Structure 1
Amino acid sequence: MSGHAPPEVVCLGESMVTFLPSRPGRLADVPSFTRAIGGAESNVACALAAAGHRTRWIGRVGHDGFGDHLVETIGSYGVDVTAVGRDPHRPTGVYFRTDEDRATDAHEVVYYRAGSAASAMSPATVPYDSVAGARVLHLTGITAALSADCLDLVRDLTAPRPGRPLVSFDVNHRPGLWRDGSAPEVLLELARRADLVFVGADEAKALWGLKGSRAVTELIDGPETVVLKLGKGGAEVIDRRPESFAGIEDFADIEDADGVSHLVRPPRVDVVSAVGAGDAFAAGFLSATLRDLDMRTRLRHGHLMAAAALTAPGDLARPPRRAHADRLAALDTDAWGTLHLGPGWTGHDEERPDRTGDDQEVRTP
């Protein structure tokens, strides 16, 4: 982040060094791994920085080589890492995973994060001044699950106060981190304290037994905006301010006491790796939010950023150039419905075009 301008977005949470397998199969059978980085909040920060926004990542890493690698790699995306803490007594977290999709039974993840440097984050180690002045503060439910101190920190940052940034909260339920059974209560509490909430339909069902956007917004009754992620079915935004949909003329919205809702289905995507798509979607939606674009366009930018992640290996992918994404997000309903994106569609690989129909190809400039 250049100069002394305050960040537009602050993302706070644990990042870890991740080891990616050299081939598919059980962890017991994988002979070697490639080092990368992983972390929901830093993924969002990196994607937003690559899209041209001023971002800051706040986390805590050990005084070790893995911590050096995380800070240097995240900083290389243009993210401000000056507020990252270094812990002399606790290590940087690491994890290993298989190559299979996270939704399948064959997918394995082994975390070595208990007692990590990030788990020692607290209101004492992360002062509120480090997030003050930002337009958006992005948090996830993962941080709240790391330790009692981390939960105290998330509660402190989401407490009402004058001049608080818009709080974006991704529920990001990780069942393995909530061994005490408190996830439904705690994640609902934090979601209600946010201004913008991202939650998957599968998460809402698993946590609270809810199905459908109306049931979700009736329960999560604090935020002005809730984005319900439906997987291959798309994403639905529910906003309590009808004026947020001004200028959108060619969709059938549903308005009731809980607000106005709008569903946007994703383009067809040739998936390379499903890892990181949810974080990329949040980054795309937040990028469009920072630009004050309408709700349909925010959802479309979320889908496009997710498509960039889906069509590239690893947790992080370079997003499409803003002008290219804007052109695709502005397509009429029929053209959006036939959009087909494959590896290289973002324009960073000139050899591979994106496809907007069965017989039409558009090469990224």
Structure 2
Amino acid sequence: MADGSALAPRVLCLGEALVDRLGPLGGDPATAVPESCDDRLGGAPANVACALARLGTPVGLIGRLGEDVIGREFLALFQRRGVDVQALQSDPSRPSRVVLVRRDANGERVFQGFAGDQSLGFADQMLDRAGLELVWPGVSKQARWLLVGTIPLATTASAESLQWVLAQAKAAGLALALDVNWRPTFWDSEADPAAGPDASALSAMKPLLHQAALLKLAREEALWLFDSDDPLAIQAVLPQRPDVVVTDGGNPVRWQIAGHAGTMPVLTPARVVDTTGAGDAFTAGLLHQLVGLSGHTDLSHVGDSAMVERMVRYAAACGALVCVGAGGIDPQPDPEAVAKFLNQA
């Protein structure tokens, strides 16, 4: 697909771009009448890419969409935001994915299944390595970070493509940011949305965990993967000693970054409409600041724990502001909105 950005990406986000079909508060999107549901463009890597672009960081998306209405809507969105789409593939046979999102009365969500499958699977499952090999030299030439999650590991073709990109990134010196983003229904559409990863999924995730320079986990993911939610303990069992951030919904965020441990209450906006994409905006806020540190791909040169806390606080503000609107992309803040929120918090 044609490039929609003006600057070469500094961050590459690999993975799914899809529609979150938000059910009515307290209702079921699988059975609700269409008029009561709210379709929003989303997908964790697409969310992070759009959030980074809005914050001003040049970013590209590596993924695959169907040649359908959803695909066209995403292309228009990426063009508006300035997201580089050199590595965004189109699939003429498979549709873009629709995820059914059940919301409770407080806006908290559960991913419960999919819609739109025409028995061939979804476009994002078929990310093509050969196509990536053609565009990788151009799309990666200025990149410093690669952001991935674990969902592409759930399907053979996308897993192979992800593994190829990881090898290229390592050879080129790109730092890997891993937001685990465990979603069992992507591995098995009949799985309990609250289930943890089985032995096969854990084995598939291991190479990503061992390459990550920055590891972001929800608390339940930390417990599933490491039997601990302590960022220092998690860091200690990985050979590369990555920076680690553990989030826990409305509870304090904890981190072990550049030798500094910390914890901070989450920031809360005046009202919460929908929490979809809050963690992705947090990740984008952190990566945005890392990219701005004079080209460094880690915080090892930072000796000030207060600076690390300011960076986490900025990321938390990005996450909080997404919750004031529906969907994971439309409410994403620009730098001015983040600064205003932090001044008032």
Going by fraction, where is helix more abundant, 1 or 2? 2
Q: Choose from 209, 217, 233 the match for 1:215.
A: 233
Partner AA of 1:316 in structure 2: I
Counterpart residue number, 2:274: 273
CA distance in 1 between partners of 2:71 and 2:4 (Å) = 23
Counterpart residue number, 2:299: none
Change over 3 Å in CA distance of 1:155–1:2 after alignment to 2: closer
Counterpart residue number, 2:79: 75
Matched, 1:227 2:245: yes
CA distance in 1 between partners of 2:146 and 2:278 (Å) = 20
Contact kept? 1:143, 1:151, Cα under 8 Å: yes
Change over 3 Å in CA distance of 1:284–1:152 after alignment to 2: same
Matched, 1:20 2:33: no
Counterpart residue number, 1:165: 174
Superposition pairs for residues 38-187 of structure 1, below 5 Å?
38-100=42-104, 107=110, 109-112=112-115, 115-127=121-133, 128-129=136-137, 130-145=139-154, 147-159=155-167, 161-179=170-188, 181-187=199-205
Matched, 1:306 2:314: no
Measured against aligned partners, the alpha-carbon deviations of 1:275-317 in whole angstroms (never above 9, x if no partner) come to 1111011011111112228321220111000011112221124
Higher RCO (CA < 8 A, seq sep 6+): 2
Contact kept? 1:237, 1:295, Cα under 8 Å: no
Partner AA of 2:310 in structure 1: T
CA distance in 1 between partners of 2:272 and 2:5 (Å) = 38
Contact kept? 1:23, 1:30, Cα under 8 Å: no
CA distance in 2 between partners of 1:61 and 1:319 (Å) = 22
Out of 48-57 and 81-90, give the one that drifted further.
81-90
Partner AA of 2:266 in structure 1: P
Shift of 1:231: 2.8
Change over 3 Å in CA distance of 1:108–1:14 after alignment to 2: closer
The number of residue pairs the alignment matches comes to 312
Shift of 1:3: 6.7
CA distance in 2 between partners of 1:44 and 1:170 (Å) = 10
Out of 174-183 and 64-73, give the one that drifted further.
174-183
Counterpart residue number, 2:262: 262
**2:130 is paired with a residue of what secondary structure?**
coil
Shift of 1:141: 1.0
Change over 3 Å in CA distance of 1:265–1:83 after alignment to 2: same
Contact kept? 2:5, 2:84, Cα under 8 Å: no
**1:30 is paired with a residue of what secondary structure?**
coil
Partner AA of 1:281 in structure 2: F
Out of 133-142 and 1-10, give the one that drifted further.
1-10
CA distance in 1 between partners of 2:340 and 2:38 (Å) = 36
Shift of 1:328: 5.9
- TM-score in terms of structure 1 length: 0.76
Change over 3 Å in CA distance of 1:220–1:328 after alignment to 2: farther
Counterpart residue number, 1:247: none
CA distance in 2 between partners of 1:140 and 1:263 (Å) = 24
Contact kept? 1:286, 1:298, Cα under 8 Å: no
CA distance in 2 between partners of 1:157 and 1:284 (Å) = 23
Pair member with larger Rg: 1
Shift of 1:48: 0.9
CA distance in 1 between partners of 2:30 and 2:209 (Å) = 38
Partner AA of 1:118 in structure 2: D
CA distance in 2 between partners of 1:116 and 1:165 (Å) = 29
Counterpart residue number, 1:244: none
Change over 3 Å in CA distance of 1:45–1:229 after alignment to 2: same
CA distance in 2 between partners of 1:67 and 1:3 (Å) = 17
CA distance in 2 between partners of 1:202 and 1:83 (Å) = 32
Matched, 1:7 2:1: no
Shift of 1:173: 0.9
Contact kept? 1:201, 1:211, Cα under 8 Å: yes
Partner AA of 1:110 in structure 2: G
Structure 2, unpaired ranges of 5+: 189-197, 294-301
Measured against aligned partners, the alpha-carbon deviations of 1:245-297 in whole angstroms (never above 9, x if no partner) come to xxxxxxxxxxxxxx432222222333221111110110111111122283212
Counterpart residue number, 2:298: none
Change over 3 Å in CA distance of 1:288–1:101 after alignment to 2: farther
Superposition pairs for residues 324-343 of structure 1, below 5 Å?
325-326=338-339
Contact kept? 2:20, 2:327, Cα under 8 Å: no
Shift of 1:66: 2.3
Shift of 1:323: 4.5
CA distance in 1 between partners of 2:176 and 2:78 (Å) = 22
**2:57 is paired with a residue of what secondary structure?**
coil
